[in-house]
């Protein structure tokens, strides 16, 4: 379940980061990209430590 959330957040991060290159109708996320990346990293570290 946690890996599913990580994958979804990573895909959203990629869409926000590469959105204008793929399609101009996809809005840029600005600081949301960095927020998603930090959340992904925290979840991965917690998973590796066995906390979650």
Enter the tokens of residue 17.
């980061």
Q: What pLDDT is attached to residue 42?
A: 87
Contact 16, 36 (CB under 8 A): yes
46 has a pLDDT exceeding 80: yes
Q: DSSP letters of 24-52? A: TTSPP-THHHHHHHHHHHHHHHHHHHT--
pLDDT tens column, 7-45? 888 887 777 777 666 667 666 666 677 777 788 888 888
Q: Alpha-carbon distance 17 to 31, whole Å?
A: 10
Q: Would you kindly state where each structural domain of the chain is located, as residue ranges?
A: 2-49
Q: What pLDDT is attached to residue 29?
A: 62
Q: Alpha-carbon distance 31 to 4, whole Å?
A: 23
2 has a pLDDT exceeding 80: no
- The pTM score is 0.55
Contact 16, 28 (CB under 8 A): yes
């Amino acid at each position: 379940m946690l890996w599913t959330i990580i994958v979804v957040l990573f895909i959203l991060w990629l869409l926000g980061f590469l959105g204008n290159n793929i399609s101009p109708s996809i809005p840029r996320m600005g600081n949301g990209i960095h927020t998603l990346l930090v959340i992904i990293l925290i979840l991965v570290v917690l998973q590796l430590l066995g906390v979650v």
